[in-house]
Amino acid sequence: MSANRRRGEISAELDGRQVRLCLTLGALAELEAAYAADDLGMLVERFSTGRLSALDMIRIIGAGLRGAGDDVSDEAVKTMQTADGAAGFAAIVTELLTTTFGAGSAKDRPANP
């Protein structure tokens, strides 16, 4: 499954299948509501601490899957697995947030696929 990083998409393996994730405006609005954040700046502030709970990862991955068009609930995300366990989920969340919000200078960002 091909992901277009310019559109904020990433590819990941969950439950042994390749999936696409994307934090669309709708997905970001969903996360704002879940965290009672007034704006995207509050979300960035929350996620930039590097300290995410398992519930945070479930919400972010669920929103990313739904943003990419997958009809999946957070309850279903709770039972998903990665090849690398919890570290795999953390890597997916980190890549998704970095792709969505950017990090570092333009030279550090991935090239257009």
Q: CA-to-CA distance for 56 and 42, rounded, in angstroms?
A: 14
pLDDT tens readout for residues 20-61 = 999 999 999 999 999 999 999 999 898 888 889 999 999 999
Handedness of CA 7, 102, 31, 3 (dihedral sign): positive
- CA distances 61 to 23, 28, 91, 108, 111, Å, are 9, 12, 11, 23, 23
Question: Structural domain boundaries of the chain?
Answer: 5-101
Kindly report the backbone phi and psi dihedral angles of residue 90, in degrees, each rounded to the nearest multiple of 5, phi listed first. Answer: -60, -40
pLDDT in tens, 69-113: 999 999 999 999 999 999 999 999 999 999 998 864 344 444 433
- The SS3 call for residue 28 is helix
Tokens of 76: 């279903």
